[in-house]
Every structure is written in structure tokens, then in C-alpha cells.
Structure 1
Amino acid sequence: MARPSVPLRDTVPEIRSQPATGSDQDIAPPLYPARILRNDEEALQAARELARDAATEAARRDRERKLPWCELERFTASGLGSLTIPREYGGPGLSFATLSEVFRLISEVDPALGQIPQNHFGLLQLIQLTANESQKRRLFRSVLEGWRIGNAGPERGSRHTLDIRARLERDGDGFRLSGEKFYSTGALFAHWVAAKALDDHDRVVLALIPRGTQGLRIVDDWSGFGQRTTASGTVLLNAVPVTAENVIDLSPQRDLPNLQGAASQLIQAAIDAGIARGALNDAIAFVRDKARPWIEAKVERASDDPYVVADVGRLNVELHAAEAVLRRAARVLDDSAAAPLDADGAARASIAVAEAKVLTTEIALRASEKLFELAGSRATLAEFNLDRHWRNARTHTLHDPVRWKYHAIGAYHLNGQHPARHSWI
């Protein structure tokens, strides 16, 4: 099953053009061969190489809203898209610690590129938990061959993320799916589009739709001021045919202790940690090379201003703390996954990740805002595009409110209350 390991650059075909836009966006992206990673270090090296190359045009992609097609194809071809697929299904079965670090490394240079595959991995966790054996073998095999899974997000106009209104209705031996979704990160770039819906018995199911299926339309209408190149827009479902084999009953997610929500949140926290590190790196570089010292400091260089020095020290302490708690959370997930999982173990994992999410959210916002105070007014010039760090941090950290993380953590430690089981805790 495993393929021989070769350098990342040798596995990625040259991509000369991006997929068509406009009405042609409903055609599946090209499919390139994907490497299968052998171990954690190979995955981390692939992430480092991708991050190094993606960094060169990251600011311009944000400024021009140029979608990172080539970079995402490299992500997939490198084998990073299948790193969590269990070994019994032909995948490398790598650790949550590696998954978290891969997302942190990539998001340090381009958090939009980091966010695009986050739902892909959340859905892989969901498939592992809820799908039958035949579905697991087929879907995991497709990902090993280079398919990406995108998410048709929550309902447009719904009361909250769990207010599902899309309907999956029986049609002969198969089904028809109708609805309108938004915040559909990854769908535009995907080969499978996954959509939650209610079936004829009002049960929540997950439908997986191959791109190019009649009635499926993806609209690139994401207009957020941050994470501008995630294409987190609309998915329209107009009586889309869905075969029975591509419908997954999601009741096990509700009924069984699981790590699906914790794994999803771990990725979110890793993206925020990457944003914070990228912002702090740019702040330090700008202060060293471009900023002018404040006259009252009576120093020759801005980097010798004692207040600037102290603030950079404080930001580094806070970031190192957030990164340490993030690594701890990943270890808790790995330990939980290696043992028989009960309700207490699942809760412990969710709370560990919630603690990381609090700290990574706060340092991402603080570092990206403090950048301008430390670097001075010149840092606001459009040519540097340094505001992308704050725009990305502010946008991505709105995914789920930190105030409820504090509540979940307090309720767990004070009253022994387990957090809810869904993708936002």
C-alpha cells in the first residue's frame, strides 16, 4: 500500500493555470497523484517546504484576493491531505501533535491556506466515527488518491449552526438534496462536497456529493475583510442526486464519546497560533529594519526603545505559553485516541483544546494589533499589507466565541460538567 518516499518537490506536478472561474466553478478541480507519508517527520518537512514557498506571495494573494490554487495542490500532492487516515485503511495514521504543527506552520505564513483544508480533516474524523466500513474504505481511498473534501457550511439564514434546514428526500433507490449553505470553506477547492441535511425521518445525515453533480453549484461570494482567500462562500443544492452509499448517519456523533469536536478545535487553535507567530515575526522585523525610534527614548534604533523591548518580551512569553498549551492539548488527544475512549476521556480532550483555543485566540489578536503600536505609523502603509495579520486574526477567531470556552472550562473544573459534543467545543 505505502508508496516510496520521495522529496516533496519531485511529487508535485507543475501547475500552469488555475481552474476556471464563473459558471465553470462547479467542475471538479484537476486530480493529481498524492504521496503517502511514512512518518511524522516527513509530514513536518512537507509542511515546512510548503510554508517556505507559500510565504513569498502570501501578502500579494491577500491584497489581490488571489486564491491559493497552486499552493493547495502542493498541499495535497505532498501527502498532507491524508496524514490522519488510519493505517488499517492504507494511511499513515499520524499523530494529532503532527496535525496541529502542520497547520501552525502553514498558517504562520498564510492562514487562509491553512484554513482551507481544516474542514477536510474535521470531515475525515466524522467519517471515521460514523461511516460504515464500506464507506470508510471507499472515501479514505479517494483521499489517499488526492481527493479533497470540502464543507457545505451551515444554513444561510438559520438561527445557529445546528439549525439544519437542508432536506434529503428519498428518490427511488437514491435521494435528492436541496438547500442553501454558507461559510463553506474548502468547497470551491474540493472533489467531494459534504453537506448535512435532515432526511425523511428528520434524522441528521451527511451527504457526500462528487463535484460536477447536477444541481450542485458553488458560488465564490465570500467578502470577509480577513481570511480573504478561503473562498468560504455559498453552496447551492437544487435537488442534487445523492446515492445511498454516499449518505452517512450522524447519530453516532451524538451517542458515542468521540474526539471529533476536539480535533476540529485543535486545528482552529493551531491556525490562530500560526497567525500570532506570523504577526510577531513581522513586527520584530519591521522594528529592526524600518521603524524610527520615538524621540523621548533617546536611542538610535527603535529596537533599543526600552518600552518596545519590554512589549516584545511580553508578547513572546504569551505566545510561548499559548504554543505550549496547544502542544499539550495535542498530546491529550493522542493519549485519548490510544486508549479506550469514555465520556470522561472525551471531555478531558475537549477541555484541553478549549484552554489552548483561549490562549491562541487572545495572542493572535494581541500580537496582530500590537504590531502597529511597536512598528509605528509607517507600518500602516498599504505596500506592506501588515494589516492582514489583524484582519485574519479577527476573522478567524470569530469561528466560535472564546467567552463560551471560559464557561466550558470553568463548568468542567468547578462542577465536573462535560462539554457538549459538537464541532465547536
Structure 2
Amino acid sequence: MTINDNTANGTQVPYRDPRVYDEYQKKWTSIPEDEAGWLQRAQEVADILAADAEIRDKENKSPRAEVALLKHAGLLKVLGPKKFGGGGQPWSVGYKSIRKVAEADGSLGMLLGYHLLWSTTANVVGTAEQAERIQKQIIENNYFIGGAVNPRDNDLKITSEGDKIVFDGFKHFNTGGVVSDLTVLEGVYEGTEDHIFAFAPTTHQGIEFAHNWNNVGLRLTESGSVKINKVAVPWDDALGWDPAQKKPREDVLKIPFGSLLLPTIQLVFSNFYLGIALGALDYATKYTVKKTRAWPYGGDNKEHATDEFYILSTYGNFHAHLRAAVALANASGLEVNKIYETYSGDLATRAKLTARERGELAEWVASTKVVTTDTGLRVTAGVFEVTGASSTSLKVGLDRFFRDIRTHTLHDPVAYKNRELGRFQLLDEVPEPTWYT
């Protein structure tokens, strides 16, 4: 069933009725308790999404129903504190869950990944009180979080009006915002160079979506542009700021811990790239076994495509490189765990994280970004060589894996990650924190 959403500007936005997944809300009456349970739940979600992924990709409808499925499954809560009803899992489990969902549907893997990052924003750049309050709100309400934070655009302008701060501006990209419950806003406070993060209800009349996401890949991510028009939030919600002094707290924001969101989300990217590539290999494998015909003019003719030397060699090579990429991604996830487990907590504990430790984590993440980008692009394009000309038919749907990974691997040039790693290898330099490192 298709429903048209009448937005404030009169735009008609079709989406599938979220009730198509109501049965799973009744099926999943509790959240998993351990890593194995969470990965099984992610697999169940992936199996549901895989059944009609290519159809939904072509229809390009707003993913309200699919986000409802993520909510029913409890996957939005995997990292949340147990005392509020969350899963209490480390980032390594979150990353594997993202990867598993992306094997079936890259768009939903991406949405889950961005949500997990934005839902933990206050844990990194907020005070302990803010983190507690916001985590409670998100987990208890099972909220999905979007973010209007695109560093390539001009910063949102922030002014002060009494006990509130007011955001104004425009962002070309805003992943998941249209289907979110809360939106993370970020901008620069007037008269300073200091940035402020804050959460706002997505229903705020000043958050105006253009509904213009119609790209070649990741079509169900609602990553279009958004106008932020006089969106006011309380000064108390300015993450990591002293509302009385109207100044950033240096013990929260001006320490290496305060920049951990960047390597954390870069590893989110790598994991949904990896999931997409794994999904492509599995999809292509099934196609080759069932439908690909052996080449009859090679001089060493085989009866079945699965006996062809070049087909076996290609699949074997892809398998090996993806297995290595999985091992690297898992190792990097454990490095993220180690940093958060060691330094999360009170401000004195956060302050112990050194720039060197933060930088070495960034290089684990950069290494994973390079490998998953290179391998993902090679696999998702290369599977056509071993599935045959008929696999390019749109009804087959094999093309969506390449379109998805090609779209997001342009997010920030991987060449700069190679250069960064080169300086680490040759000069033992760790990178300065940036919006992309």
C-alpha cells in the first residue's frame, strides 16, 4: 500500500504503509540479550528486507515502513544503556548489525548506522547530565535520529534569544531526516568560531525538507536537502556548553575525546560498504549457480559455469579479499570498543584520552575505509564478469549493490585516507581531528 504524505510545503511524498510490518512488532516482544542474539535479530531483519529489496529500490519511496521495521526489531536500541531499556552492547556489535542489514539493503544499513552515531552524540560532546537525559528520551521512546550536519556546506548560524539558541541555515544533505523523530543540528555561535550540537524535534515547523533525494544509489536513505528556519532549542540542550556563561566547556569539547564522533562514523561507513559487498557476492553466487551458462568458445569447454576456471578463480579471489576486509573491520571495531570502554564516564576519565591514542584509532579506521572502499567497488562491479550479460537486466537487481556503494564512497575522497596513512607509516604522524578524520 502506498500513502502520500502531505508536507508543510504541499509536496506529496509516497511511502509504504508501515503497517505492512505490524506482525513483527508482535513477534519481537523483547530485545536480545547478547551479541549472538543481536546478530540473529539483524539477520532476521535482513531476510525480511531482502525479499523485495530491488522492488523497493526502484520505487524509491520514503522509508517510513522500513524504519518502523528497525524499531520493531529493537535494532535502534542496540547501543543504548540497559537501565533505560537499551541493549547495552559495544560499538563492535553495532557495526556488525549495520553490516548484516546492509547485506540485504544498503539504504537501511546506512540509516541504521547514521542513527546509531547520532543517537550517541551526547555521550561524546555532551555533559554527563545531558547524555543521561537524551539517552533516556531516545531509548524509552524508541526514537529514530537524523542529522542536519554536512560540513561541506556553510555552517548553520546560531543566535541567542533569552534562554534559547536559534539555528538558521541550509544543508544539501540530511540523511534520514524526513523519517526521523529527532534531528541533530550543528552550527557556529554568533561572534565566535565555536560549534554547538543540539537535538530538535523533527516535527518543528522550521525544519523544512526539500524531498529531493533521487540519486543512483542508496535511494531509500532520504538524504536530500533541508532548510533550517529559526529552529529554537533551550540553552540547556546545547551539548557541552555552559548555558549560564554561554561558552563551550573546555573539559568536554576541547579534549581528544570530544572529537571521537568522526572516526566512529567513518567506521560506520566501512561496515555498510562491507555489508553491501558481501550482499553482492552472495546475490551473484546464487545467480551463477542457477542461471549463468558456461562459455562454449574457450577451447576448454565446460558443461557448467561453476566448472569454469576464470569463474572459480574470480569468486575465490573476491571471497579471500572480503574475508580479509571482515577481519580488519572487526579488529577496528574492537579498537573502538577499547577507547570507549576505557575513557567513557566522568570528565576526569574522558580527559585521559591522549591525542596520540585518538590518532592511532583514526588510522585503524582509515585503514578499514581504504580496504572496504577498494574491495567493495571491485567486488560489486566485478560480479557482472562472472554472472554474464543477462545479469545486467534491471529485473535481476544486481546493479543496486554497485550503485549503492559507488554513491557513498564519494562521501569523502579515499585518496586522502591513503595519504594520511602514508604519513603515519613514513613519518609516524597521527592526523589532526577534522570533520572527516
Where does 1:374-389 land on structure 2 (aligned, <5 Å)?
Answer: 374-389=386-401
Q: Which moved more, 1:79-88 or 1:38-47?
A: 79-88
How far does residue 370 in structure 1 lie from its aligned partner after superposition? 0.8
CA displacement, residues 360-380 of structure 1 (integer Å, 9 cap, x when unaligned)? 111111111111111111011
CA displacement, residues 149-186 of structure 1 (integer Å, 9 cap, x when unaligned)? 101132xxxxxx25543111112221322111121001
2:430 counterpart of 1:418: yes
How far does residue 224 in structure 1 lie from its aligned partner after superposition? 1.3
* 1:10 matched residue in structure 2: none
How far does residue 247 in structure 1 lie from its aligned partner after superposition? 2.2
The one-letter code of the counterpart of 1:228 is R
* 2:209 matched residue in structure 1: 218
Where does 1:189-338 land on structure 2 (aligned, <5 Å)?
Answer: 189-202=179-192, 203-249=194-240, 252-257=252-257, 258-295=259-296, 296=298, 297-338=300-341
2:162 counterpart of 1:172: yes
Q: Which of 101, 117, 121 in structure 2 is aligned with 1:126?
A: 121
- Closer, same or farther in 2 for the Cα pair 1:423/1:254, shift >3 Å? farther
SS at match of 1:326: helix
CA displacement, residues 374-421 of structure 1 (integer Å, 9 cap, x when unaligned)? 111101111112111111110011122211111122212322211232
* 1:20 matched residue in structure 2: 5
SS at match of 1:117: helix
2:138 counterpart of 1:183: no
The one-letter code of the counterpart of 1:192 is L
* 1:110 matched residue in structure 2: 105
Q: Which moved more, 1:222-231 or 1:255-264?
A: 255-264
**Distance in 1 (alpha carbons) for counterparts of 2:398 and 2:6:** 28
Q: How many residue pairs end up in the alignment?
A: 403
SS at match of 1:170: strand
**Distance in 1 (alpha carbons) for counterparts of 2:368 and 2:6:** 38
- Closer, same or farther in 2 for the Cα pair 1:56/1:163, shift >3 Å? closer
SS at match of 1:176: strand
- Closer, same or farther in 2 for the Cα pair 1:383/1:282, shift >3 Å? same
Q: What is the RMSD computed on CA atoms of the aligned residues? A: 2.6
- Closer, same or farther in 2 for the Cα pair 1:267/1:302, shift >3 Å? same
CA displacement, residues 317-366 of structure 1 (integer Å, 9 cap, x when unaligned)? 11111111111111111122232432222222211111111111111111
* 2:349 matched residue in structure 1: none
How far does residue 307 in structure 1 lie from its aligned partner after superposition? 0.9
- Closer, same or farther in 2 for the Cα pair 1:384/1:278, shift >3 Å? same
Q: Which moved more, 1:67-76 or 1:83-92?
A: 83-92
- Closer, same or farther in 2 for the Cα pair 1:386/1:380, shift >3 Å? same
- Closer, same or farther in 2 for the Cα pair 1:192/1:131, shift >3 Å? same
**Distance in 2 (alpha carbons) for counterparts of 1:26 and 1:205:** 33
The one-letter code of the counterpart of 2:269 is Q
**Distance in 2 (alpha carbons) for counterparts of 1:90 and 1:73:** 18
Q: Which of 373, 386, 389 in structure 2 is aligned with 1:361?
A: 373
SS at match of 1:398: coil
Where does 1:154-173 land on structure 2 (aligned, <5 Å)?
Answer: 154=150, 161=151, 164-173=154-163
* 2:144 matched residue in structure 1: 148
Q: Which moved more, 1:229-238 or 1:254-263?
A: 254-263
SS at match of 2:215: coil
Query: Under a length normalisation based on structure 1, what TM-score does the superposition of the two structures give?
Result: 0.88
- Closer, same or farther in 2 for the Cα pair 1:207/1:259, shift >3 Å? closer
- Closer, same or farther in 2 for the Cα pair 1:282/1:273, shift >3 Å? same
The one-letter code of the counterpart of 2:410 is L
Where do 5+ consecutive residues of structure 2 fail to align? 242-247, 344-352
**Distance in 2 (alpha carbons) for counterparts of 1:18 and 1:321:** 43
The one-letter code of the counterpart of 1:230 is T
Percentage of identical aligned residues: 26
SS at match of 1:239: strand
SS at match of 2:89: coil
* 1:158 matched residue in structure 2: none
- Closer, same or farther in 2 for the Cα pair 1:169/1:259, shift >3 Å? closer
